[in-house]
């Protein structure tokens, strides 16, 4: 193994690079995302149950955010890395857009429709005819499929008697941000920015600097809540672009943790904490020894989509449960749905990825035949 330039030489540790981690042929991103999705459920339990309970573990430790916000950070770092890698490996923009559509939309549509027209009628306190005929019921599906910033979080008469949180699914607020990051990758890819490392670094760092001085006018980032997520996604993308010299080493991760702790009462703390999260993501993905979860499936998206509604169902059926019990029962209800979502919706949809390539091949052969005929 070689000493990774810059950071490796500074700390004098023989660190594995991200490129070497990728070359292993396997990683632990599936398990990482499963843990992050579960943390979102844990983080939402106090608001949904409305009960006092043990303080959030991460907030109680004095970390930058609570469990839910940290989990979302991990999702966006991972997504930036994997999505940028996906485009760089196959720079056909139509293939990229089709693949992103298949990964996000089918399971999301199923979640929205089932929530509005199956669970909604069961849990609404309105007469069934009034619920079904309400414009708000249809808008829940239609508005949320537009991926606008003003999503629809409520269904008429559903969960509106809960003590604190009455939204049907508060977790979906991040999906418009995620889709906007896909558009950024597609735009940078089309103009060949991602094809050149130096240009990628210049452009992405330039966008960082612009966003710091003009936080309210970043294209495709219309909300202040999206800025940190966009920054972490961009950091993940930068890590893939510079993968052959980005170190992945537990000792470096500990050094970053120590620096983050030392500067916890300064303005540098949020930045260092983000850097700490980035180090953790790649250390966990490539340096943890057990990879057994990879033989199951990617259940994290299903858990993320269904965790919040299932916690609301738990609160409706068993009001005033302790916070941790709400989280545990919510997770127990969510996991079977997530497994079904993966095996019956998400995985079959992903098999259609090749469709765009086949269609492009047919069009190419058709054009070739026309050219020959002329």
What does the DSSP assignment read for 65-95? S-HHHHHHHHHHHHHHHHHHHHHHH---HHH
Q: What is the pTM (predicted TM-score) of this model? A: 0.90
Measured CA to CA, the distance from residue 268 to residue 286 in angstroms comes to 27
- Is residue 140 classed exposed, middle or buried when 0-12, 13-18 and 19+ CB atoms within 10 A define those classes? buried
Q: Three-state DSSP class for 7?
A: helix
Question: What is the structure's pLDDT at 234?
Answer: 97
pLDDT at 3 over 70: no
Q: Phi and psi for 248 in degrees, rounded to 5?
A: -130, 100
More confident residue, 12 or 222: 222
Task: Encode pLDDT of 325-372 as tens digits.
Answer: 999 999 999 999 999 999 999 999 999 988 867 776 665 566 565 555
Task: Encode pLDDT of 58-105 as tens digits.
Answer: 888 888 889 999 999 999 999 999 999 999 998 899 999 999 999 999
Measured CA to CA, the distance from residue 299 to residue 38 in angstroms comes to 10
Measured CA to CA, the distance from residue 51 to residue 29 in angstroms comes to 33
CB atoms inside a 10 Å sphere around CB 20 = 17
Task: Encode pLDDT of 126-152 as tens digits.
Answer: 999 999 999 999 999 999 999 998 999
Q: What is the DSSP letter of 12?
A: T
Mean pLDDT of 192-207: 95
**pLDDT above 90 covers what percent of the chain?**
74
Mean pLDDT of 269-282: 94
With CA atoms as reference, report the closest residue to 150 among 223, 44, 214.
223
Which token pair is 45?
């339990």
Mean pLDDT of 114-118: 98
Mean pLDDT of 267-282: 94
pLDDT tier, 374 (very low <50, low <70, confident <90, very high otherwise) = low
């Amino acid at each position: 193994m070689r000493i990774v330039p810059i950071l490796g030489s500074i700390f004098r540790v023989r660190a594995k690079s991200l490129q070497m981690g990728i070359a292993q042929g396997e990683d632990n991103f599936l398990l990482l995302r499963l843990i992050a999705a579960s943390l979102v459920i844990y983080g939402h339990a106090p608001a949904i149950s409305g009960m006092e309970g043990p303080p959030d573990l991460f907030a109680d430790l004095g970390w930058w955010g609570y469990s839910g916000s940290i989990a979302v950070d991990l999702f966006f770092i991972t997504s930036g890395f994997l999505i940028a890698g996906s485009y760089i490996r196959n720079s056909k923009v139509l293939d990229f857009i089709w693949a992103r559509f298949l990964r996000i939309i089918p399971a999301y549509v199923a979640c929205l429709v089932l929530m509005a027209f199956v669970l909604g009628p069961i849990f609404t306190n309105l007469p069934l005819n009034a619920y079904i005929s309400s414009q708000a019921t249809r808008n829940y599906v239609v508005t949320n499929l537009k991926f606008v910033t003003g999503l629809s979080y409520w269904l008429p008469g559903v969960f509106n008697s809960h003590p604190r949180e009455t939204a049907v699914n508060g977790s979906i607020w991040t999906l418009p941000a995620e889709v906007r990051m896909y558009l950024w990758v597609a735009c940078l890819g089309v103009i060949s920015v991602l094809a050149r490392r130096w240009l990628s670094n210049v452009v992405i760092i330039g966008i960082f600097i612009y966003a710091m001085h003009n936080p309210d006018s970043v294209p495709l980032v219309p909300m202040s809540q999206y800025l940190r997520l966009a920054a972490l996604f961009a950091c993940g993308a930068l890590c893939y672009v510079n993968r052959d010299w980005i170190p992945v080493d537990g000792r470096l991760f500990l050094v970053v943790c120590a620096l983050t702790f030392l500067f916890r009462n300064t303005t540098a703390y949020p930045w260092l904490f983000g850097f700490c999260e980035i180090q953790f993501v790649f250390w966990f993905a490539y340096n943890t020894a057990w990879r057994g979860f990879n033989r199951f499936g990617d259940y994290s998206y299903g858990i993320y989509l269904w965790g919040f509604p299932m916690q609301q169902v738990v609160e409706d059926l068993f009001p005033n449960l302790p916070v941790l019990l709400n989280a545990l029962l919510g997770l127990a209800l969510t996991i079977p749905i997530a497994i079904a979502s993966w095996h019956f919706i998400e995985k079959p949809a992903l098999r259609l990825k090749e469709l765009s390539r086949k269609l492009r091949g047919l069009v190419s052969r058709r054009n070739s035949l026309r050219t020959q005929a002329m």
